[in-house]
A and B are shown apart, each in its own frame.
Chain A
């Protein structure tokens, strides 16, 4: 003899699971929609000319995104130039001085920096560099991106080095190797795969950023290799074209979006796969 309430409880249980599963699977639909629409609207625009030409003025057919691609590479490169060395050193500092007061304070600052909105980073780079230099520049944009990459690299370095067993450090020190050489020549190489992953992730994070570049790199229709002048980037170009009133530019923006999303998502997937392969056995 079953009590009716047990049947009801079992019903609720089954219902709940169905709802949970349904909602979960629904939530991955947006991803598919985005990929589908960008691909369908963007892929027809992709051509060799698209990738290797400069943008044309409104009204002229064609035009490409070469300066945006080069710009993105340059900006990321500038960002890496300052965030990678500082980030790795700070990461080593945090993993070596785990309990110290300075270390805890620094860790707090890293977490805070990670959460700063990208537009505020843009304001900072504006105040520090654009105002003092008197013009928009690739340098200020690169610094803004670097500021956003820094916390990711620091955290990845610290987490990686924390996992390295202390026996490695002991083995090196017992051979009479100095502390600095032990860190730089034994510990750091052992953690290199994790650190590189962190760097790749930070690149994936900033390659798609627009807000910090709006008033630093500013954008430009020209090709520019001069660090002190404004420069274009893929996300900036997408923003400018997408919000313009010209349908031809909208089409170009879909093409650029396709390239950007492949780049960013590709980097993300790549790091996920590679992380598993590179794990060093101790």
Chain B
């Protein structure tokens, strides 16, 4: 055998003696470790849910279902009811949703249809995405010092009590914060509308507006709704910005300009001062309610998106 052949035989015997050295980690062991990581995440979520339930137990046992409908929140008398906060949460979130949709749908149409490529589109897209990156406390800070005085002036003009803070202010701040969520998903579903559908309509003489109204929006409709649902989920759980501008009142809000509290903001405001296990348990039960509601809404939204084949 020639020289190179002998050299390779030597190499072969080297790899052969490795036969007796065991490989690093067998495949099945490694796969087991990986699945342990997966199970860990699973257990984490389960633990989160059960921790919330167990910790709210004193409150659940004491008040039962009427917790959700009672409007008394009185730490002195140990009477706790979630209704004012459910109202506050729903009011701020839905108002914020309505306001944000006015902006996010046009943004989706602009970025998905009119201007899908190019530097303008990239610029606008980045600016909208940056909105999502601004910390909540900074929104609250700006809301408190910049927006609230303006709202106060508006309230004085309208003859309402000039708090400046309240549901209206909170909804305004919230609406800006949730625009990016529905805008980005809306943009994706709109850009995914097959171009042959659009071209068919255009070739029949439809204007672009009509194509958008009659072809694109119906096709992308459920995806846009899903994006809106997701931004609702975000709005429901938002804490700091809302806490700083909602006025911290535990009573049922009388109107859109009244101060109020949301599920999240009352927890933020009162948790560290809660004395007594029932008080704390009630606050935690509010957290449990918040957890359940946001999870359901987020999962519905994600389900719709997945059905439409968009990468969340």
Contacts and interface: CB of A to CB of B under 8 A. Distances in A.
A/B: CB atoms within 8 Å of each other: yes
Nearest to B132: A268
A13 B209 contact: yes
A215 B271 CA distance: 7
Contacts of B144: 242-243
Contacts of A243: 144, 244
B238 interface: yes
A179 B27 contact: yes
Contact of A24 (B42, B107, B141): B107
Contacts of B128: 27-28
A116 B114 CA distance: 35
A195 interface: no
Given A31-B127, A109-B44, A103 B138 contact: no
Interface stretch (B31-39, B73-81, B250-258): B31-39
A24 B208 contact: no
A12 interface: yes
B210 A9 contact: yes
Nearest to A263: B135
B142 A38 contact: yes
B23 interface: yes
B228 interface: no
Contacts of B299: 108, 111-112, 115
Given A31-B130, A243-B244, A180 B41 contact: no
A38 B264 CA distance: 26
A105 interface: yes
Given A13-B210, A180-B27, A38 B34 contact: no
A209 B240 CA distance: 9
A21 B110 contact: yes
Contact of B33 (A27, A89, A94): A89
A117 B264 contact: yes
Contacts of B26: 178, 180
A114 to B, nearest CB: 8
A102 interface: yes
B130 A120 contact: no
B282 interface: no
A102 B40 CA distance: 11
Interface string A14-37: 001101110111111011011001
B220 interface: no
B142 A110 contact: no
A92 interface: yes
Contacts of B13: none
Nearest to B176: A30
A138 to B, nearest CB: 16
A208 B134 CA distance: 8
Interface stretch (A46-54, A220-228, A253-261): A253-261
Interface string B3-23: 000000000000100000001
A181 B24 contact: yes
B290 A117 contact: yes
B23 A178 contact: yes
Nearest to B141: A242
A214 interface: yes
Interface stretch (A59-67, A73-81, A122-130, A164-172): A122-130
A27 B103 contact: yes
Contact of B141 (A102, A103, A257): A257
Given A112-B45, A128-B51, A268-B133, A34 B267 contact: no
A149 to B, nearest CB: 13
Given A9-B207, A208-B135, A209-B135, A26 B264 contact: no
B131 interface: yes
A249 to B, nearest CB: 12
A119 interface: yes
Contacts of B27: 178-180
Contacts of A116: 48, 237, 291, 294-295
B141 A117 contact: no
Nearest to B135: A208
A183 interface: yes
A238 B141 contact: yes
Interface of A: 9-10, 12-13, 16-17, 19-21, 23-28, 30-31, 33-34, 37-38, 86, 89-90, 92-94, 96-97, 102-103, 105-106, 108-113, 115-120, 123-124, 126-128, 147, 150, 154, 176, 178-181, 183, 204, 207-211, 214-215, 218, 235, 238-239, 242-243, 250, 253-254, 257, 260-261, 264-265, 268-269, 272
Q: What are the 4 A-B residue pairs with the smallest beta carbon separation, nearest first?
A: A208-B135, A117-B237, A89-B37, A115-B298
Interface of B: 15, 23-27, 29-31, 33-35, 37-42, 44-45, 48, 51-52, 55, 102-104, 106-107, 109-111, 114, 124, 126-131, 133-142, 144-146, 176, 179, 183, 207-210, 212, 233, 236-240, 244, 264, 267-268, 271-272, 284, 287, 290-291, 294-295, 298-299, 302, 312
6 contacts: A20-B106, A94-B38, A119-B237, A120-B287, A264-B134, A268-B129
Given A113-B41, A208-B136, 6 more contacts: A93-B38, A105-B42, A150-B44, A214-B268, A242-B144, A264-B134
